[in-house]
Amino acid sequence: MLSRMTHVYLEIGPKKVFACSVDWPGWCRIGRSEEEALEALMTYAPRYLLVAERAGLLFEPADPVVVERAKGGTTTDFGAIEAIPSLDAEAVGEAEAARAVALVRAAWELLGEAAATSPEELRKGPRGGGRDRDKMVAHVVEAERAYARKIGVRHKPLREPEDLAAMRADLAEVLSQPSDGRPPVPGGWPVRYATRRIAWHVLDHLWEMEDRRT
């Protein structure tokens, strides 16, 4: 069983900060300071609870405890995680891998369900920006295809629903395996980071879609 402490690392960019859960892949939120990022993270705990429940996991977050600070950059300020903390070089055991891939699968399922029940045209952002539903889903899928290469999974452009299912099955196969902490391919990502990055990107757009359809 996980500790009731919410272990968090901070990715610190020039202007923005991400707070990311160490133990719960994809639970990452941004703020203009460390305090704002941590507050945003905890504000989203009820929404992440739905992901954990879908994965069949008990989620009982407590006060966040910062265990590492990693240097971010312009991508951080733009609104995407980019830094790979040193803790991601630690080995991933069988139980952690199985739990992590269950959370990724849950995120995929929830985004698919949200897309199926959302209108194509979503409410625009404060400056009139933001992708509509189909473009948002396509963006997530194409980003995922790029992320997949970082762990040795290569697929041609996805044209049919079964192509996406095949890619995600290959991704899940890699993410579900124990790891010694080294990237599976030269110049790639550690599996723990890949899991977090994939889950975060899906959830970030899931929550955006939910917020913009009302």
Which of 61, 83, 105 delimits the end of a domain? 83
Domain of residue 79, CATH code: 3.30.160
Give the C-alpha separation, 156 to 168, whole Å.
13
Q: Are residues 95 and 69 in the same domain?
A: no
SS3 labels along 71-119 = ECCHHHHHCCCCCCCHHHHCCECHHHHHHHHHHHHHHHHHHHHHHHHCC
Q: Are residues 94 and 65 in the same domain?
A: no
pLDDT at 4: 65
pLDDT at 2: 44
The answer to whether residue 145 sits within a structural domain is yes
Tokens 């790891």 belong to which residue? 179
Q: Are residues 112 and 155 in the same domain?
A: yes
Which of 48, 83, 118 delimits the end of a domain? 83
Q: Are residues 160 and 115 in the same domain?
A: yes
Give the C-alpha separation, 120 to 201, whole Å.
20
Query: Which of 173, 138, 181, 137 minimizes the C-alpha distance to 152?
Result: 173
Chunked mean pLDDT (size 10), the chain, 214 residues: 75 98 97 98 98 97 96 97 97 97 98 97 79 95 96 90 94 96 96 98 97 85
DSSP one-letter code for 171: H
Q: Are residues 119 and 56 in the same domain?
A: no
Count structural domains, the chain.
2
Q: Are residues 76 and 155 in the same domain?
A: no
Q: Cα–Cα distances in Å, from 78 out to 13, 32, 73, 98? A: 9, 12, 9, 31
Q: Are residues 108 and 204 in the same domain?
A: yes
30-38: list long-range contacts, CB under 8 Å, 24+ apart.
Answer: 30/76, 30/79, 34/10, 34/66, 37/10, 38/8, 38/10, 38/64, 38/66
pLDDT at 214: 66
| 50: Cβ contacts below 8 Å, ≥ 6 apart | 110
Q: Which two tokens stand for residue 41?
A: 């993270």
3-state secondary structure of 69: strand
Q: Are residues 100 and 52 in the same domain?
A: no
The answer to whether residue 173 sits within a structural domain is yes
Q: Are residues 61 and 13 in the same domain?
A: yes
Q: Are residues 105 and 160 in the same domain?
A: yes
Instruction: Please name the amino acid found at residue 138.
Output: A
82 and 76 in contact (C-beta within 8 Å)? yes
Full domain range(s) for residue 28:
6-83
The answer to whether residue 172 sits within a structural domain is yes
Instruction: Please name the amino acid found at residue 54.
Output: R
Q: Are residues 62 and 100 in the same domain?
A: no
The answer to whether residue 1 sits within a structural domain is no
| 201: Cβ contacts below 8 Å, ≥ 6 apart | 80, 140, 143, 144, 147
Q: Are residues 180 and 196 in the same domain?
A: yes
